[in-house]
Structure 1
């Protein structure tokens, strides 16, 4: 029997400027039954000192230290080996929980009796607060994960792949089969969540928004950096498409291919943040990915893009075909 009810996994790399808020929420949310596992990913700032002080106020806190910077995927995988709990969730080191958020999420997953439960979250930008909702009309209702993929042109829960916006039942989900891909320094949560939706049985969405996501202020975040790791979405998309094809779920394949194309279009619109070399690499790798994608789903997906995006995406696919 697990020693704890819930394990919370946090990967931190040079998060010292933001840890005060997240550690304060951890102290507030701490109680018997909650296990906190923080991996300090070779930070060179005040992260280690702040975590050492936090041990006095946060019960059941385990701090693991990577000797070299391994990335968030490897850090989370390391934390998984220390999990001793019935349920699992995640917290990014620059975010925080509102009062009783974890308690309410646990109540929801027990009440709805599902493999995992998802929730909305609050986006924080300076003093502004904005609600971000899971794109799922069914709320407070258990439903099969296979029904979550939706239809082309419509948003679904697969457009909302934030691992921290969920709680996962480890009696129903085999964590040993859910390794994060360590080749991905960004976007590794995307294939992880797709595996859940493809292989778990049941899920539900609840109208809770007590996770506070800090937007665009952490310049050490790789998703904000505009460097080579920005292109990890391509490797993640290729993995997701392979998972969907292997599942035999036609709707999942359509969703996976459309998602890959959407992300290519998204990053092309913002390619000015990349160096000329990375812009060329983005287009080269995107062309190869689109050429290798299942072509019937790709043609179906093209119909939901507007004319300019459709021409660019089709042109990249044709270039990848040589």
Structure 2
């Protein structure tokens, strides 16, 4: 009987995969199912997985016939998941020994739909504990209470799938699906849907997940291509969820998140071609102007003057 399924999407991960496989072996349990799905890698990833299966025959391995992206890969892997509980692992990250056991024990003890954890951010030789943005620990909470107000980072803004574990018997199966049209940022609307449509959650003091934040040329978060702009589509999904909820406070929070992510990408526009920079400006303007004007004005109050000036210029592009 499988208790926990762990989905591991992999793409051109030959550099990091041996370490990932080592952490899988170290955290293996007979009732754990590790699902590796190779998104049609072009490096030595398939050969590494093939060799690993000879030594670790209990691995579930899949390979996409073409490169689908991480969202579709996760959806495909989910159809093979057998466990009641679910979590994720990125191929360039790793677990402390026993982290899965401790997270699962916390989820079962608290008897909630899902739990969130802290993690360790790894930047070359530096290790920093990153706390989930929630001071209430080890208590049952309403997931909607973690959406919060504009101006504050809350758990709904903590978009790390692997910093959590989810009970598939208590959560609507439809909530686990990712938008396959998104090459990046698909986890952002995913968490909003989760917080709007579940009944209970908790944050626990566990930090046994090590998140590699140093240079990884295959990471979409560090890319500068057309897929980078998919964040606009992802945040449009958040806007629609917030508006559909009928809660004006959620719309204000969604507008704040939209302004924040647009400012972030505009400040890093140099990694984009001139053509993509123009697309970024015009699409961002249209997107921000799709929010109720009062929500945008409310959210803008939480930015310093320099950022308000930049965002004001972006907003005016659509009007000019």
Alignment of 1:152-231 (within 5 A): 152-231=150-229
The 2-side partners of 1:35 and 1:259 are apart by 35
The 1-side partners of 2:277 and 2:316 are apart by 18
Q: Would the aligned equivalents of 1:120 and 1:132 in 2 still touch at CA under 8 Å?
A: yes
Taking structure 2 as the reference length, the TM-score comes to 0.97
Q: Would the aligned equivalents of 1:5 and 1:85 in 2 still touch at CA under 8 Å?
A: yes
Q: Deviations over 1:107-165 (max 9, x none)?
A: 11011111100001111111111111111111111100111112222221122111111
Taking structure 1 as the reference length, the TM-score comes to 0.96
Aligned position for 1:119? 117
From 146, 149, 154, the equivalent of 1:148 is 146
Q: Deviations over 1:22-61 (max 9, x none)?
A: 1000001111110111111111211111112222444531
The 1-side partners of 2:311 and 2:13 are apart by 37
The reply to whether residue 308 of structure 1 matches residue 319 of structure 2 is no
Aligned position for 1:269? 267
Aligned position for 1:30? 28
The 1-side partners of 2:21 and 2:206 are apart by 21
- Three-state SS of the structure 2 residue aligned to 1:92 is coil
Q: Tell me, which stretches of 5 or more residues in structure 1 are unaligned?
A: none
Q: Would the aligned equivalents of 2:147 and 2:250 in 1 still touch at CA under 8 Å?
A: yes
From 93, 96, 105, the equivalent of 1:95 is 93
The 1-side partners of 2:121 and 2:237 are apart by 28
Q: Would the aligned equivalents of 1:31 and 1:59 in 2 still touch at CA under 8 Å?
A: no
The 2-side partners of 1:184 and 1:128 are apart by 31
**Cα 1:264/1:219, change in 2 over 3 Å:** same
Q: Would the aligned equivalents of 1:26 and 1:58 in 2 still touch at CA under 8 Å?
A: no
**Cα 1:56/1:282, change in 2 over 3 Å:** same
What RMSD in Å do the two structures reach over aligned CA positions?
1.3
